[in-house]
Each structure stands twice: as C-alpha cells, then as structure tokens.
Amino acid sequence: MYYELYIDVLFLENFMMDSLLLLAVNRVLKYNRSYGRIFFGGAIGSVLTCLAIAAPFPAVIKLILFHFVINSLMIITGIQISTVPQFIKAFLLLYLAAFALGGVMYAFRPYMRHMSLLYAAGVGFGFLISKLSGALCQSVRQEMVICEVTIYTEKGEHTVKALWDTGNKLTDPLTGKAVSIIDPETEKIVVGAAEKARGFHYIPYRCVQGESIMKVFRTEKICVHMEEDRWVNDAVLGIGESDISGDGAFQLILNPDIFS
C-alpha cells in the first residue's frame, strides 16, 4: 500500500491551519503581533511539516518534530515569544486551539483543497493591497508638511522632525487630549523619570491591520516650530509599534488638534 502525496496541497492546508492557530493564540493572549509576522510563522510551520513528512526520518523523530520542534518554532517566529512562561502558555493554548480547529476542519475535509487555496490567495491579495496602500500613503505623506518640534522632558530638550498629519485624529479618552505619535526609538531617548512618574497608560486605536492598543505618556511641554513657535503644555504622545516613517524622514506624527 502506498499514498500519493501532493506537496502543494499539503503546504496550503498546513499553512491555513498553522496561521489560523497562531491568529487564535495571538488574539487570546493579546500580543498584538502583525498579520505579516503571524503568516510568516504559519508558512515556516507548513514548510517544516512538508520537509519532515518527505524526509526519511524514523517514526520517533517525526513524532518529536511534529509535536515539539515545529510547533515551538512556529510560536517563536509567529508570536515572537521572549520568555519561558509566555512560551509555555502559548504552546498549551496552541494545542487547545488545534483540537478545536481539528474538529471543524474534519467536517470540511472534502473541501479542504479548495478552501486552503482560497485562503492562500486571500492572504496574498491582502498583502498586495497592504503594499499598494502603503505606497499610496507614502506618496501622500511626501506632500504633507514636515516641521521641527522640540520635546521638553525630564531628560531635557529634544528636537525632532515631525509630520503634520491632518489624518491623525487619535484622542486620549482619559484626558480628552489629542495624541501625537512618536517613534519608539526616539521615545527611549526623551522619556525620563518624571514622565514615568506621571504614569503610562493604554488607549485603543484602529489601523490597517485592525484594532489594537497604544501606550501613551504625557510630556512637560512641546514647541512646534512653524512660521511662529506654538507651545503645548502637558502634551500626550503615543508610542508607535515600529519606525513610523520607514525611512527616518520624521520621528513624530503631529496631531493638528493639539492646538484646539
């Protein structure tokens, strides 16, 4: 007896299941990892599964690969786990989600080939739209005004480049103040003990990837250098998840409503 294995179908089915499992773990544990990172983890898991099946390993080695090694690498790459307790929690949750998803997938087994193909096509189309949207946003941003802003904190004065973004309407529900967004690397430089003493808190926001939360803090004051200097006391700054400009052109996305 022998089995005919279609490696492309195997990859697509495993990619769909692995990425769905990582999405579930990410959602339940509230890690807020990007879709790109999660789908990359799913692709890694699927590739390793295909290699493990095709390779002439002994059954015990394949058992270890399927149930420990591949799943661990999926979690590390897809969820970016950094501590042992987080890893254990994510690993157990992955298995619980796998049991639940396995029952659902079994019911749709006759249609899995078409479902996985549509799923992969949807992911690819989503990335294409995301890239086109990013390119369009970058083109629009180039036409926006970039000015200088001096941020005053416990560590002193820090002047950065700021993008005047009329599309930024983010507001802090706690204080009612408009929120400007600072680059995470710049935040490490400007934030001192006084800002930490005032306390950080989180606010919800909506982005291209969906809903998420952002860490914000209050500064002593900021000065926006335009035709004439404009001062804002006790300004609220949110910390971006990554390089907010992509090319280092600016380190702050300025909310025009800060002067309201």
Residues 12-67 pLDDT 10s: 888 888 888 888 888 888 887 888 888 898 889 888 988 888 888 888 888 888 88
Residue 164: what pLDDT?
Answer: 81
Could you report the per-residue pLDDT of 242-257, keeping only the tens digit for each?
777 777 788 888 888 8
Task: Name the DSSP letter for residue 256.
Answer: G
Residue where the block lists tokens 């800060």: 258
Domain covering 144-259 assigned CATH 2.40.70.10 in the classification:
yes
Sign, Cα dihedral of 203, 205, 211, 214: negative
What predicted TM-score, i.e. pTM, was given to this entire model? 0.47
Alpha-carbon distance of 7 to 15, in angstroms, equals 12
Tokens of 105: 């997938």
Check residue 109 and give its pLDDT. Answer: 64
pLDDT of residue 223: 92
Q: Which amino acid, one-letter code, is at 187?
A: E
DSSP strand pairing (179-182 vs 252-254): antiparallel
The pLDDT tens digits along the chain (260 residues) read 455 666 777 788 888 888 888 888 888 888 878 888 888 988 898 889 888 888 888 888 888 888 888 888 888 888 887 788 888 888 888 888 888 776 666 666 666 666 777 777 767 766 676 666 666 655 555 445 788 999 988 888 889 988 887 677 788 888 888 999 998 888 888 887 767 777 788 888 876 666 788 888 888 889 998 878 889 898 889 888 777 777 778 888 888 888 87
Distances in Å between the Cα of 52 and the Cα atoms of 25, 60, 182 are 24, 12, 44
Q: Please state, in angstroms and as integers, the Cα–Cα distance from residue 69 to each residue in 45, 65, 145, 234, following that order.
A: 10, 5, 50, 50
Hey, where are the domains in the chain? 7-137, 144-259
The one-character DSSP state at 109 is: G
CA distances from 196 to 49, 54, 159, 179, 216 (A): 46, 54, 20, 17, 11
Task: State which H helix or E strand residue 210 sits in.
Answer: strand 210-218
In the prediction, which pLDDT does 138 show? 59
Instruction: Give residue 150's pLDDT.
Output: 92
What is residue 49's three-state secondary structure? helix
First to last CA, the chain: 76
Phi, psi of 254 (to 5 degrees): -85, 130
Q: Three-class SS of residue 69? A: helix
